[in-house]
A and B are shown apart, each in its own frame.
Chain A
Amino acid sequence: MDVFEKRDLFAREYHVLFEFLYRYVRYRVSDRQEAEDIVADVCVQGYAKIEEYDEHLGTLRQWMCGIVRYRLLMYWRTKKMSISFEERGANSYSEIDDLFHEHLDHKMAIERILERLTGEEKALLAMRYEDEMTYEELAYILGKEVSAVRQWFSRLHRRLRLEEKNGEDILC
């Protein structure tokens, strides 16, 4: 595929790509203006560097996904998340995970709890579970110790467990 065919492909898929990138970034960056700046920047950068895209290594969407992730990494390095890491949870991650497994039958309640999370907390979850980032990577992005990140997830799980109980009360 030569550079003109790549440009052609980009033009053909632009609409789908833009929607994907917009939602992807918007979910992870709570400030709308900043999210839109990133999306526009990623589109322009991607098109300018389209020559570097190798169709044998993946789809155009995957390639653009790599660009937007890198761009978000840069964004988060300069923009701190306002998630409190000061509170320390008592339980380790594995303990919390175990606790969580006790509530497999309470999906509805958990969904309600997740919906109450802040935008940045959801972004962090998306990075962990959708983007499959390690705790080390998240720690790098957030500028925190790995242990602090682990503890944040632990605390979240514990909160989920508590909220779940409240949820059960409400449901009852």
Chain B
Amino acid sequence: MLKNIFSKMYQKEIEQISVNVPLEQMVAARLGFSKTSKHFSLSLMIQFLQRWKRLWPVCVFAVLVLMVVSVQMSYQHPRRSLLSFIAPKKIDDWQYRSSSEVDKTSGAFISGMSGSGSSAGLGMGDAGWDLFGGLVQSESFGSSAGLSMSVSSDESLGFSVGGAKDIGSFRTNIENGFLPLLSSLTYEGLFGDYFFETGKKETCDILFCPSYRRAVTKNPLTGEEEMYVAVGLNSGMKQSDFARKKLNLVIVLDISGSMSSSFDTYYYDQNRQKEQEAKKTKIQTALASVSSLLDHLQPDDRLGIVLFNDHASIAKPLRLVKETEMEQIKTHLLSLSADGGTDFSAGLDSAETLFMEVSDEKDYTYENRMIILTDAMPNTGDISKDGLVSRLEKNAQHKVYTTCIGIGVDFQSALVEAITKIRGANYFSTHTQSELQERLDEGFDYMVSPLVFNLEMTTESNGFEIEQVYGSPEANKSTGNIMRIGTLFPSATKDGQTRGGIILLKVRKTGGDPHLSLRVNYEDRDGRTWSRTGDISFDGLQADMSDDNGVRKGVLLVRYGELIRQWIADEREKNETTSSWEQTSLPLQVSSPYDQIFIRFKNYFEQEAQEIGDATLNRERDILSKLTTLPSVPFFQEETGGID
């Protein structure tokens, strides 16, 4: 009896305990549940409806009253929506004024809005509107152009490594007849331009589950037999499971003088004035890119904007997107002009200041990222690579990560290559505005969400050791039996293939044991460590055999990359530039014996590409074709050549 009576009392009293809602929300935030997530909102709504059934008539009445009021208001204030009376007013918090705007202010004329002001040097009055038109257009074809893909939400996600996500700068230079920088062609960037079979066969239900495929193949240039292992970067996570955290995003935009030059010419070339005519400038491309970025933000994200040339300004403080008049911000951006020096470090100072304002929340509820749009040619302030890199490393320790978007044909990829080896960093180069737009449509959320850190792969074998690692910015940190990778980002998949979804190990035979054991250790974003083991055997694998087209494509691209990189290195050795970051152009040229090597390699490339059956490889074939048709420079320093 006591039990029965107590039970009734217990039920009554326990229902009367009021729940600490802020605590609930705090724990939810710690677990990464967004209040705006569909599950959380739905759950709250169902609870509310179940608990307050008796209030339904009141709710219906309230809705009716609201409808009547809205009709009345729409008559009285035809230009204002009802929401504008209820919701808090959005703020246009743009606070940057260019020197030309300041001049106009002193002339007793303030042009508060865009379009009418600051067109000096850029012709932005008209160009701005052209740019805007271009943006609208690119939105319309964003999902149908070359790099786009039909994504099934049930398809698993894959991973790709941090660092370079494409080789756009390399391609732009080749197309425009310039010799690219060596750093513009990285293996991870080259892989980032392609989708790969990753050899995922068994069901995977954890964050990261690598797979391994083998290839034994003869090098067409040296004739040596080489052995490769492709590490497939698979995940058990489905695309429909993935939801990025809310984002504190600070855009750091370079508005220095070099950004006013044409997208496809070198600012520091002597003849730049002539070539700039009627060409789209880098600042225009950068602004279009920023506008594309802004379209991918969610209401609960925060946005801040920093502009820098020879000094830095906080153009827009960090504020929730839902509280910001985003269209006005875009309009302000279109009115920017570019001049002055390039103090990269000042831009970082201002960006760090903005992140300090939200330091209380940045640990687990928000992802923190600064996106730097620049041609990366600093010439004032701290211009040392080590100085800039160490600052960004410090930021990464505080979970503020960096993305670089390189602008222009003279984009200094050497600096950015160093920056993006940092934990959580990546970089893209804008080959064309539409290509960047498509990459953002495909994976903006992935781009800002590093998920795997400090990946370390250890091999155990009496028969093999790692000779070379391809496809990781940290490849040089790998030794005979250890490979290290700083960061993995989620990557889009289509038809079972993942963009940039492999790392290629070239292995060397050191003994008779055909077996190779691989152990992977990594950290997730919460710092928890995981490990996974796998085994492969080269037993029975004959010469010129590959497990699948993924590893075969990887080997083909690595050989292509090795050859091109060797050629660039040798060509550049003959032409030293004077400044550390302010580069001048070198004409595209092919010295002997590379003219003959390219012809031989092109035949091999075409044959392999045909057998692999991937039409996107034609991009590299076209580059090889262009290089083979260039007039050969006869007197090359043959004693330094390392190939053939």
> Residues of A at under 8 Å CB distance from B?
2-4, 8, 10-16, 18-19, 22-24, 26-27, 36, 39-40, 43-44, 47, 100-101, 103-104, 107, 110-111, 114-115, 122, 125-126, 129-130, 157, 160
Contact A100 B1 (CB under 8 A): yes
With CB as the reference atom, state the residue of chain B lying closest to A28. B14
Q: Which 5 A-B pairs have the closest CB atoms?
A: A2-B205, A12-B39, A15-B43, A129-B3, A23-B17
With a 10 A CB-CB cut-off, give which of A8, A22, A104 has the most chain B CB atoms. A22
Contact B20 A27 (CB under 8 A): no
Contact B2 A11 (CB under 8 A): no
Contact B237 A27 (CB under 8 A): no
Residues in B neighbouring A111, C-beta threshold 8 A: 5, 8-9
A13 to B19, CA, bound (A): 16
Q: Given A18-B27, A114-B5, are A12 and B241 neighbors across the interface (CB < 8 Å)? A: no
A16 to B31, CA, bound (A): 15
Residues in A neighbouring B44, C-beta threshold 8 A: 15
Contact A23 B19 (CB under 8 A): yes
| Least CB distance, A64 to chain B, in whole angstroms | 13
Partner of B6, one of A4, A14, A24, A114: A114
Does B604 sit within 8 A of A, measured CB to CB? no
With CB as the reference atom, state the residue of chain A lying closest to B16. A23
- Using a CB-CB cutoff of 8 Å, which residues 2-59 of chain B contact chain A? 2-3, 5-10, 13-15, 17, 19-20, 23-24, 26-28, 30-31, 33, 37, 39-40, 42-44, 47
With CB as the reference atom, state the residue of chain A lying closest to B8. A111
A50 to B14, CA, bound (A): 26
A24 to B11, CA, bound (A): 10
> Residues of B at under 8 Å CB distance from A?
1-3, 5-10, 13-15, 17, 19-20, 23-24, 26-28, 30-31, 33, 37, 39-40, 42-44, 47, 205-206, 236-238, 241
Q: Give 15 CB contacts A-B under 8 Å.
A: A3-B236, A4-B241, A10-B31, A11-B33, A15-B43, A23-B15, A39-B27, A40-B30, A100-B2, A101-B1, A107-B5, A110-B1, A114-B6, A122-B10, A126-B10
| Least CB distance, A72 to chain B, in whole angstroms | 15
Contact A40 B43 (CB under 8 A): no
Residues in B neighbouring A43, C-beta threshold 8 A: 27, 31
Partner of B7, one of A12, A115, A129: A129
| Least CB distance, A143 to chain B, in whole angstroms | 24
| Least CB distance, A17 to chain B, in whole angstroms | 10
| Least CB distance, A13 to chain B, in whole angstroms | 7
Q: Given A15-B47, A18-B27, A36-B23, are A125 and B14 neighbors across the interface (CB < 8 Å)? A: no
Contact B6 A125 (CB under 8 A): yes
Residues in B neighbouring A15, C-beta threshold 8 A: 24, 40, 43-44, 47
Residues in B neighbouring A2, C-beta threshold 8 A: 205, 236
A115 to B33, CA, bound (A): 38
With CB as the reference atom, state the residue of chain A lying closest to B528. A48
| Least CB distance, A16 to chain B, in whole angstroms | 7
Residues in A neighbouring B23, C-beta threshold 8 A: 22, 36, 39-40
With a 10 A CB-CB cut-off, give which of B2, B23, B43, B205 has the most chain A CB atoms. B2
Contact B27 A40 (CB under 8 A): yes
Residues in A neighbouring B205, C-beta threshold 8 A: 2-4
Residues in A neighbouring B5, C-beta threshold 8 A: 107, 110-111, 114
Residues in A neighbouring B238, C-beta threshold 8 A: 4
Partner of B206, one of A3, A14, A115, A130: A3
| Least CB distance, A112 to chain B, in whole angstroms | 10
With CB as the reference atom, state the residue of chain A lying closest to B241. A4
With CB as the reference atom, state the residue of chain B lying closest to A36. B23
With CB as the reference atom, state the residue of chain B lying closest to A157. B2
| Least CB distance, A122 to chain B, in whole angstroms | 8
A68 to B43, CA, bound (A): 22
Partner of A11, one of B3, B7, B40: B40
A40 to B27, CA, bound (A): 6
Residues in A neighbouring B3, C-beta threshold 8 A: 129
Contact A16 B47 (CB under 8 A): yes
With a 10 A CB-CB cut-off, give which of A11, A110, A111, A122 has the most chain B CB atoms. A11
With CB as the reference atom, state the residue of chain B lying closest to A39. B23
Contact B1 A114 (CB under 8 A): no
With CB as the reference atom, state the residue of chain A lying closest to B207. A3
With CB as the reference atom, state the residue of chain B lying closest to A1. B205
| Least CB distance, A101 to chain B, in whole angstroms | 7
Contact A12 B19 (CB under 8 A): no
Residues in B neighbouring A10, C-beta threshold 8 A: 31
With CB as the reference atom, state the residue of chain B lying closest to A153. B2
Partner of A27, one of B7, B17, B33, B42: B17
Contact B236 A23 (CB under 8 A): no
Contact B9 A114 (CB under 8 A): yes
Residues in B neighbouring A160, C-beta threshold 8 A: 2
Q: Given A100-B2, A107-B5, are A27 and B47 neighbors across the interface (CB < 8 Å)? A: no
Residues in A neighbouring B17, C-beta threshold 8 A: 22-23, 26-27
